[in-house]
Amino acid sequence: MMLSARPRWLPASLKWNRRWTLWVLLVALVVTMLGALVWLAARYEASMVQSRLERDTAEIVTDIRAGLTRNIQSLQALPGVERRPMDWRAQAGELLRQRREIVRLEWRDPSLKLGQFYESAYRASVFERMGRETINFEISQACNTAMRVGGPAYSSSYFTPQFNGLGLELIDVCLPHAVEGRLTGYTLATYSLQEILKELAGSQLTRGQGLSFTEADGTRLAITGTPVRGNRFYNAQQLLDLPGTTLVLRMDSWKGSPDFFPNMLTALVSSLALALIAVLLLLGRDIRRRLRVEHDLADALAFRKAMEDSLVTGLRARDLEGRITYVNPAFCQMVGVQAKDLLNHSFPSPYWPPELAGVYQDRQTIRLASNSLPQSGFESVFMRSDGTRFPVLIIEAPLINANGKHTGWMSAILDISEQRRVEEISRASQDRLQATARLAMVGEMASLLSHELNQPLAAISSYATGSLNLLEDAGTSTAPLAADLQLALRRISEQAERAGKVIKSVHDFVRRRDQVRECVAPRALLDAIMPLVSLQARKLHVRVAMEVDESCGAVLCDRTMVEQVLLNLCRNGMQAMREANTLSASERVLSLRVTPADAPWVMFSVTDHGVGISAAVADKLFTPFFTTKAEGMGLGLSLCRTVIEQHGGFLGHAPAVAGGTVFSFTLPSSLAGDPAARLASTQVYAASSMTTGTAT
């Protein structure tokens, strides 16, 4: 039992584990993606800060180089000391006041001997402690370089101690002067590296950062500014390449998160993370809904498949071109062809009889071209795979998809072979019942015939005896005898014809015959039943009144069947008046009327003045074998309605105005040509009769 149960739950467990594994992988992928996004954002932030720092450092180098170039131009504008020493000192002092990065200006002769000098007024003399002679080597090297390049040249940086225990890192620039190609001397400017950083570097660029000149090994020569402490340290270096020497400019920065961009990035990443989590939750809910809907859909499909397989009605779907797109098992069993042989099959269909294929093809072509289908079903004939034909009822409707587009037709096919067989059996049974009813009626008429035939037979006997007596007395007078014999023989003939009509009418009513529709005048139908109706009327003391509208044309009917209906209704009316003991002799009147109805119909009505029909009896009046008579069979009115409906008419009843009941029925006029129009008129008449109380 354990082994047999394991395969049932194992696939579901594996499916559940697989689903959770997919969710875990999805969550891991999302977390990894978010981590990578944060890491990339941090890298991008660092790269942006570093790029900005390098760009600022390059701009500062450019600013320093531009400032030094302006200073060279100012130095070149100084007048010669040998001719105007006072002017040189005045302009040198002005230049030092404007250029605070220059701490000392000197004029030296071609042998580098100091001539004039002027120091900055913003600080004490930088050479007061150690003297100027200790750095003559740097000066001579710079001036030699200047003579060689024919322009200004810078010396290497050097350190000069000060009285405050500190010192300055200085650098000299030597600018040779020549007159008519002859060297006249040198202008020497001493720069403080720290002042260069303060004066020539942009204040906006160095705010919150540290700026310094360093050697190649990283030793700081001069520094200005203090970087704001942060959680990350950034630095950038740029070379300041000057004629005769090279300095390294370094910018340091302690950066935390940038002011604007990281907040935007954090908000963006957080919003994306929240959105992604929300999407995952919605996706999970949507997946659960989809699984539930898929499960419901699978159940619905299975239920629909079970219904389609259990149907006894054949279902067939066709597209707009007439190709079969779907058949159910009942249809395949009906025609004896498998579904795979029917699908995508166009005209002619394999279940069409060969002799009717052309007719069916034309009919389907017209139907598909007009895009219209009959509102009701239509009958046709199909052929099974063994060649047998069978009748079917086809009901078709347009096939509309979910978008409201017409995609084809859906047909329901019913095999009506059994229905036709039952109808034939029912028709034969009705014929036998009608014959039985006529025979039962003949039994009732037997007593009437015995009384009715006695009168003409007695009259014949009397006239014959009188004729014999006249012949015995022939010798008296010949002329009166001939006249009396003629009268007697005429009476004998009339009475014999009367007896023959009575017997013939009963014979015609009882004998079996084929149903034949013929055009019959309404008066002829009434005249045919009058001998039999008169027999019953004289016995029950009822007067028969007949009224025929001459505008009514002939009716198309089976004469014998309609006569039976009229006779049955007349007998029922007379028997109803017999039960009404309160009626006087003048009120016992049975009225037969023929009037025109809605075209193309003729209405026959039989009105009695009996006790009427109660509501409880009216509901069962036309039910077979229901009767209110002790000796009745309960088949008369049921057979009457069947006969009238077979003619396309309608049989109903309503209370009469003066008391009693009016039975009325309609028959088609012989001028009506369209059976469909006649059927439609029947439905209209039936509906109107039910609203006026003339139908049950």
Q: What are phi and psi of 661, to 5 degrees?
A: -140, 145
Q: Is the peptide bond before 531 cis (omega within 30 degrees of 0)?
A: no
Which band of pLDDT confidence, cut at 50, 70 and 90, is reported for residue 161? confident
Q: Which of 415, 424, 354 is nearest to 390 (CA)?
A: 415
Segment of 102-111, 511-520, 583-592 carrying the highest mean pLDDT? 102-111
Q: Give the DSSP H/E element, type plus range, for residue 423.
A: helix 417-472
Residue type, 199: E
Q: Taking a C-beta distance cutoff of 8 angstroms, is the pair 214, 252 a contact?
A: no
Say which range, 303-317, 370-384, 668-682, has the weakest mean pLDDT: 668-682
pLDDT at 684 over 50: no
Residue type, 486: Q
Q: How far is CA 26 from the centre of its chain?
A: 33
pLDDT the model gives residue 693: 34
Q: For the residues 154-174, what does the mean pLDDT come to?
A: 86
Burial class of residue 325, CB neighbours in 10 A (0-12, 13-18, 19+): middle
pLDDT at 39 over 70: yes
pLDDT at 174 over 90: yes
Q: Which residue has the higher pLDDT, 643 or 478?
A: 643
Q: Taking a C-beta distance cutoff of 8 angstroms, is the pair 102, 95 a contact?
A: yes
Say which range, 16-20, 244-248, 520-524, has the weakest mean pLDDT: 16-20
Q: Which of 331, 318, 515 is nearest to 427 (CA)?
A: 515
> In degrees, to the nearest 5, what angle opens at C-alpha 478 toward C-alphas 473 and 481?
65
Q: What is the mean pLDDT of the chain?
A: 76
Q: Which of 173, 182, 178, 170 is nearest to 145 (CA)?
A: 173
Q: For residues 627 and 637, what is the distance between their CA atoms, to the nearest angstrom?
A: 9
pLDDT digits (tens, 9 = 90+) for 324-350: 888 888 888 788 888 777 787 777 777
pLDDT the model gives residue 665: 92
pLDDT the model gives residue 419: 81
pLDDT the model gives residue 681: 41
Q: Parallel, antiparallel, or unpaired for β 589-596 and 543-548?
A: parallel
pLDDT the model gives residue 683: 40
pLDDT the model gives residue 515: 61
pLDDT at 534 over 70: yes
The torsion angle over the Cα atoms of residues 639, 645, 650 and 651, rounded to 10 degrees, is 0
pLDDT at 605 over 90: yes
Q: For residues 648 and 642, what is the distance between their CA atoms, to the nearest angstrom?
A: 10
pLDDT the model gives residue 603: 92
Q: Taking a C-beta distance cutoff of 8 angstroms, is the pair 438, 444 a contact?
A: no
Q: Which of 578, 614, 602 is nearest to 672 (CA)?
A: 602
Cβ atoms within 10 Å, residue 540: 14
- In eight-state DSSP terms, residue 66 is H
Q: How far is CA 682 from the centre of its chain?
A: 42
Q: For residues 237 and 214, what is the distance between their CA atoms, to the nearest angstrom?
A: 9
Q: Taking a C-beta distance cutoff of 8 angstroms, is the pair 621, 696 a contact?
A: yes
Q: For the residues 499-505, what does the mean pLDDT come to?
A: 63
pLDDT digits (tens, 9 = 90+) for 287-302: 888 888 888 888 888 8
Segment of 264-273, 579-588, 589-598, 672-681 carrying the highest mean pLDDT? 589-598
Q: For the residues 231-259, what does the mean pLDDT come to?
A: 78
Q: For residues 603 and 666, what is the distance between their CA atoms, to the nearest angstrom?
A: 4
Q: For residues 213 and 315, what is the distance between their CA atoms, to the nearest angstrom?
A: 96
Helix, strand, or coil (residue 409): strand
Q: For the residues 527-531, what does the mean pLDDT come to?
A: 83
Q: Parallel, antiparallel, or unpaired for β 406-415 and 314-319?
A: antiparallel
Q: For residues 557 and 518, what is the distance between their CA atoms, to the nearest angstrom?
A: 6
Question: Residue ranges per domain, the chain?
Answer: 68-255, 311-415, 421-512, 516-696
Largest Cα span, the chain: 217
Q: Which of 225, 152, 223, 164 is nearest to 192 (CA)?
A: 223
Residue with tokens 């084809």, as numbered in its chain:
408
Q: For residues 108 and 173, what is the distance between their CA atoms, to the nearest angstrom?
A: 13
Which band of pLDDT confidence, cut at 50, 70 and 90, is reported for residue 8? very low
Size of the chain, expressed as the number of residues it contains: 696
Cβ atoms within 10 Å, residue 93: 15
pLDDT the model gives residue 359: 79
Q: Taking a C-beta distance cutoff of 8 angstroms, is the pair 178, 171 a contact?
A: no
pLDDT digits (tens, 9 = 90+) for 569-587: 898 888 888 877 667 777 7
Which band of pLDDT confidence, cut at 50, 70 and 90, is reported for residue 604? very high
- Percent of the chain clearing pLDDT 90 (strictly above): 3
Residue type, 246: T
Helix, strand, or coil (residue 408): strand
Q: For residues 355 and 352, what is the distance between their CA atoms, to the nearest angstrom?
A: 8
**Distances 163 to 119, 159, 192, 524 between C-alpha atoms, Å:** 17, 13, 16, 161
Say which range, 72-81, 201-210, 337-346, 521-530, has the weakest mean pLDDT: 201-210
Q: Give the DSSP H/E element, type plus range, for residue 574.
A: helix 559-579
Q: Thinking of the domain 68-255, which architecture would CATH place it in?
A: 2-Layer Sandwich (3.30)
pLDDT the model gives residue 610: 83
pLDDT the model gives residue 690: 34
Segment of 271-280, 328-337, 481-490, 520-529 carrying the highest mean pLDDT? 520-529
Q: For residues 287 and 305, what is the distance between their CA atoms, to the nearest angstrom?
A: 26
pLDDT the model gives residue 587: 78
* Fold (CATH) for 516-696: Heat Shock Protein 90 (3.30.565)
Q: Which CATH superfamily is domain 311-415 in?
A: PAS domain (3.30.450.20)
Say which range, 1-5, 173-177, 356-360, 362-366, has the weakest mean pLDDT: 1-5
Structure tokens at 647: 């003619």
Fold matches, 311-415 and 516-696: no
> In degrees, to the nearest 5, what angle opens at C-alpha 290 toward C-alphas 289 and 295?
100
pLDDT the model gives residue 602: 92
Structure tokens at 340: 């795979």
Q: For the residues 516-544, what does the mean pLDDT come to?
A: 84
Q: How far is CA 644 from the centre of its chain?
A: 49
Q: Treating both helix axes as pointing N-terminal to C-terminal, what angle do 417-472 and 478-510 enclose, rounded to 10 degrees?
A: 170
Q: Give the DSSP H/E element, type plus range, for residue 644.
A: helix 636-646
Residue with tokens 């054949």, as numbered in its chain:
314
Q: For residues 34 and 28, what is the distance between their CA atoms, to the nearest angstrom?
A: 10
> In degrees, to the nearest 5, what angle opens at C-alpha 522 toward C-alphas 517 and 528?
85
Residue type, 195: E
**Distances 122 to 88, 101, 195 between C-alpha atoms, Å:** 19, 10, 11
Say which range, 157-171, 224-238, 444-458, has the weakest mean pLDDT: 444-458
3-state secondary structure 164-216: CCCEEEEEEEEEEEEECCEEEEEEEEEEEHHHHHHHHCCHHHHCCCEEEEECC
